[in-house]
Amino acid sequence: MTISAILFDKDGTLFQFGATWEAWASAFLRRATQGDDARAHRLGEAIGFDLAAGRFHPDSIVIAGTPAEIADAMAPHLPHMSRNAVIDMLNEEAETAPQSEAVPLIPYLQALRASGMRLGVATNDAETPALAHLNAAGVAACFDFVAGFDSGYGAKPAPGQLLAFTRAVDVLPAQVAMVGDSTHDLIAGRNAGMTTVGVLTGMAGAEDLDPFADVVLPDIGHLPRWLGL
């Protein structure tokens, strides 16, 4: 069946993961621990981030987890803060995280729309910072659908966000390509009955994505040719 719609993950797919979230993690950890370096390092380890190196571990919960899951991992190290307060702080820092586009997004997305593609974003980030990032890049209007983990459809790897996209743009799951940088994205795509496209602009390697992907591409810039556009 011909692909007529594309659903993108956000972090690690539309935007380079490391360039965006390594700066966010350093800022958040120091804010949450009020500049206590030893506590910040311990809190970083709890979420799979090496503060000294400024790098995420490949299995970090931040890569595909929701803010709520990240907050739960941090809870033992932040006993003075409620879960909701941690989530609020995570989202506040996320809204201002510097975004590094995987490719120049405005011409890329405009070309996809001009080809007739319906476009969406499904992220395990919260909806508010997701929209802030898309607006900052000047591309929010390119998308027919944007959902975060808190938009009412659940979080990946469950298929709720993906199936909500199909309803929003009135296409069948088999007509959608789910594009993402993590196994959560691709498993969600498989669960929804979509074509799955892995990209290598996140933390996962091709060997991680291959078992769940119909194709693995270097970045989203290679997608139009693969689709025959």
Question: Residue 174 maps to which CATH number?
Answer: 3.40.50.1000
Burial of 1 (0-12, 13-18, 19+ CB in 10 A): exposed
Per-residue pLDDT at 63: 82
What's the pTM value of the predicted model, to 2 decimals? Answer: 0.86
Whether residues 12 and 74 share a domain: the answer is no
**Between residues 59 and 15, the one the model is more confident about:** 15
Grade residue 1 by pLDDT with cuts at 50, 70 and 90. low
Whether residues 9 and 25 share a domain: the answer is no
Grade residue 116 by pLDDT with cuts at 50, 70 and 90. very high
Residue 26: pLDDT over 90: no
User: 31 with 122: CB under 8 angstroms?
Assistant: no
Whether residues 122 and 48 share a domain: the answer is no
Whether residues 39 and 72 share a domain: the answer is yes
State whether residue 15 is helix, strand or coil. strand
- Structural domain boundaries, residue 183: 5-16+101-227
Whether residues 11 and 32 share a domain: the answer is no
Whether residues 106 and 215 share a domain: the answer is yes
Whether residues 23 and 67 share a domain: the answer is yes
Give the count of domains, the chain: 2
Polymer length in residues for the chain: 229
Residue 34: pLDDT over 90: no
Per-residue pLDDT at 4: 97
Task: Spell out a b/e string for 71-110, using b for 16 or more CB atoms within 10 Å of the CB, else e.
Answer: bebbeebbeebeeeebbebbbebbbebebebbeebeebbe
Residue 59: pLDDT over 90: no
Q: How far is Cα 198 from Cα 209, in angstroms, rounded to an integer?
A: 6
**Between residues 97 and 104, the one the model is more confident about:** 104
End position of a domain, from candidates 95, 122, 154: 95
- Smallest CA-to-CA distance from 143 within 155, 161, 131 is with 131
Taking residues 57-78, report their average pLDDT. Answer: 87
Whether residues 88 and 125 share a domain: the answer is no
State whether residue 70 is helix, strand or coil. helix
Taking residues 130-139, report their average pLDDT. Answer: 94
Per-residue pLDDT at 36: 87
The CA–CA distances, whole Å, from 169 to 11, 163, 173, 196 equal 22, 10, 11, 18
Q: How far is Cα 206 from Cα 120, in angstroms, rounded to an integer?
A: 24
Whether residues 11 and 31 share a domain: the answer is no
Whether residues 117 and 79 share a domain: the answer is no
Whether residues 24 and 12 share a domain: the answer is no
Residue 216: pLDDT over 70: yes
Grade residue 22 by pLDDT with cuts at 50, 70 and 90. confident
Taking residues 77-91, report their average pLDDT. Answer: 88
Whether residues 77 and 91 share a domain: the answer is yes
> What whole-number percentage of the chain has pLDDT above 90?
66
Per-residue pLDDT at 96: 81
End position of a domain, from candidates 95, 117, 150: 95
End position of a domain, from candidates 78, 95, 112: 95
Question: pLDDT of 147-174, one tens digit each?
Answer: 999 999 999 999 999 999 999 999 999 9
Per-residue pLDDT at 113: 97
